[in-house]
Structure 1
Amino acid sequence: MKLGIVGATGLVGRIMMDILEHKNLPIKNLYLSASKNSVGKKFFFKKKKYKIISIQNLLDNKPNIVLFSAGSNISKKWAPKFEEIGSTIIDNSSAWRMDPGKKLIIPEINAFSLSKKDKIIANPNCSTIQLVMILYPLHIEYKIIRVIISTYQSVTGTGKRALDQMNKEKNGKKIINKIYPHPIYQNVLPHCDSFEKNGYTKEEIKLMKETKKIMNDQNISITATCVRVPVIGGHSESVNISFENKPNINQIYEIFSKKKGIIIQDNPKKNIYPMPLYAHGKDEVFVGRIRNDFSYKNSLNIWIVADNLRKGAATNAIQIAEFLIHKN
């Protein structure tokens, strides 16, 4: 199999390579692509040296599967070109997520819907993936009516420039190209992505729309507030859920314990609950603080944490690739 990575030098691209390093996939040829500034740089993968090539060079090599993590503009321009030569594209940007002709995939939930005709496959937003991993089994059991989400999102979700800004602020260094409009170190910003005319940010809208699409239910009422916080380990979410049927806490523990990719951390007496510090570098979604909401009938509060660069991006994309390889 020929596998390509577009955006190989970015935060997500590097983690993709790290994850693949520990996988036993039948990769005969690996092609790493990035921006013009990175072309020619060398990387090691499984003790073999690889040079960064241009995306045109990657196209010329006709890869079977291409993992895109280079932003929407690159995906919109190049994904159709790879599709034309028969490649399957797994795209980590927002370019194709809400396209009615493209599938938005979380392998544990809806990979079964993929067919050979699906040549451009969308990887959901990082905050969406961890949320839906938890919501979906609850929706099957109790039928969700409404969801209220507040996120606490890592600076790594914005990329390397955001990480640089936080570290420079921490060390008192001058910042030339700020990515955030305010300091992020020792601060929180209720501002993820740009603001729309309706007062919501693009990140909040992504979270609401993508959740409905993956769960295949436009009748669920969803609202969200997304907040950037000065941590690097992952995204956290405080979620309030209202159901048509009364939820049972013990049954919920049982449901989650049987689901692949979910780990329960919920023992308040021993101060055990999900944290980005613990989720960092792990591929699972962690859930805890599961409790009834006594202010409204058939409602529940939960706390969800996951590494946004792994399950929220790189891991999910590679899991899709694994599914396609094993299916074929």
Structure 2
Amino acid sequence: MGYRVAVVGATGNVGREMLNILAERQFPLDEVAAVASARSTGDIIDFGDSGQELKVKNLEHFDFSGWDIALFAAGSEVSKVHALRAAQAGCTVIDNSSLFRMDPDVPLIVPEVNAEAISGYTRKNIIANPNCSTAQLVVALKPLHDAAKIKRVVVATYQSVSGAGKEGMDELFEQSRNIFVGDANEPRKFTKQIAFNVIPHIDSFLDDGSTKEEWKMVVETKKILDPSIKLTATCVRVPVFVGHSEAVNIEFENEISAEEARDILREAPGVMVVDKREDGGYVTPVEAVGEYATYVSRIREDSTVENGLSLWVVSDNLRKGAALNAVQIAELLGRKHLQKAA
């Protein structure tokens, strides 16, 4: 016996990936619904490569009663109304927005890192999916933290435009084309030109000069992994369509060598080590697109601090950073808690 699963925001980048991954991983389904706003109602979208087509249902009129799981990929404003409505109807919500992440009554889950925390979902019937840049970071940090206890992390992100949705991807494409043909090139989605440029600004600025994206990485890492870890981040938007990269510097309480870290990461769930000290012996965002893994490369010791390491972390932000992590949470929920699957 399978589950009845609704994907909310099914016509967006992340919603479509959720449907693809449910199909790819053969999630035990009795029924799947594609749900979106009124403007998409009646549209037909594919359910992965299964050959099955889904007719998009109107979120405003969708009754969540009798549905087991709702995967939300429609933003905080939608979740504020409809995720709560779904949870109250008895449908367990896995929400990709930032709305519930720091709610003490809502578990923030990366299955490879803190699967045991999922039991707290019963308090509100909601589970939060972390920010895309946080998800791949903690997958790489967790096994190293277990081995040598992390004190401090300094991370610079190189985040693709797909993190800003379809509008971000369209803007990069249009600006790149316009530059080549000499047309006007005014930014709309981003604060400055994104084509052939980098922008050290994601989300809104806070009083201390950091951005909300940087703040999310700090507080989410503490909630998921360990509140004692000190973390500072600089989040940068780069002209890449899909795939986030991170340059990570870690200071440990205990001694750990690059070779030990490499061996530990090779055995870690969700991690793929590609670390050859030669031309091309590392992973870039292009190679990570469409993949499930969080890739770690450039593992090396940092001689400027005691017990320091530096590494390069890359992942498909639409997958591990969003849709894949949500489906993995649903799988964990089914195995450990709902106990309905055959």
Q: Is this a same-fold pair by TM over 0.5? A: yes
Q: Which amino acid aligns with 1:281?
A: G
Matches within 5 A, 1:114-193: 114-115=118-119, 117=122, 119-172=125-178, 178-193=188-203
Alignment of 1:42 onto 2:44? yes
Tell which deviates more after alignment, 25-34 or 9-18.
25-34
- RMSD of the alignment, in Å? 1.5
Overall identity of the aligned pairs, in %: 45
User: Partner of 1:85 in structure 2?
Assistant: 89
Alignment of 1:201 onto 2:204? no
Displacement after TM superposition at 1:318 (Å): 0.3
Displacement after TM superposition at 1:57 (Å): 3.3
User: Partner of 2:28 in structure 1?
Assistant: 26
TM-score, reference length from structure 2: 0.92
Task: Give the conservation status (yes or no) of the 8 Å contact 1:165–1:175.
Answer: no
| Residues 31-69 of structure 1, C-alpha deviations (whole Å, 9 max, x = no match) | 111111101111232323321111133325531100000
CA gap of 1:2–1:88, structure 2 versus 1, over 3 A, is same
Structure 2 distance, partners of 1:323, 1:60, is 21
Alignment of 1:94 onto 2:94? no
User: Partner of 1:106 in structure 2?
Assistant: 110
Task: Give the conservation status (yes or no) of the 8 Å contact 1:266–1:273.
Answer: yes
Structure 2 distance, partners of 1:17, 1:174, is 37
Displacement after TM superposition at 1:232 (Å): 1.6
Structure 2 distance, partners of 1:218, 1:106, is 16
Tell which deviates more after alignment, 129-138 or 245-254.
245-254
Task: Give the conservation status (yes or no) of the 8 Å contact 1:235–1:276.
Answer: yes
Task: Give the conservation status (yes or no) of the 8 Å contact 2:65–2:91.
Answer: no
User: Partner of 1:261 in structure 2?
Assistant: 270
Task: Give the conservation status (yes or no) of the 8 Å contact 1:12–1:69.
Answer: yes
Task: Give the conservation status (yes or no) of the 8 Å contact 2:273–2:295.
Answer: yes
Displacement after TM superposition at 1:176 (Å): 7.8
Displacement after TM superposition at 1:251 (Å): 1.6
Structure 1 distance, partners of 2:236, 2:46, is 36
- Name segments (4+ residues, structure 1) moved above 3 Å: 173-177
TM-score, reference length from structure 1: 0.96
Matches within 5 A, 1:243-258: 243-258=252-267
Alignment of 1:66 onto 2:70? yes
Task: Give the conservation status (yes or no) of the 8 Å contact 1:233–1:278.
Answer: no
Partner-residue secondary structure (3-state), 1:117: helix
Structure 2 distance, partners of 1:61, 1:86, is 6
Displacement after TM superposition at 1:131 (Å): 0.5
Partner-residue secondary structure (3-state), 1:269: coil
Partner-residue secondary structure (3-state), 2:234: strand
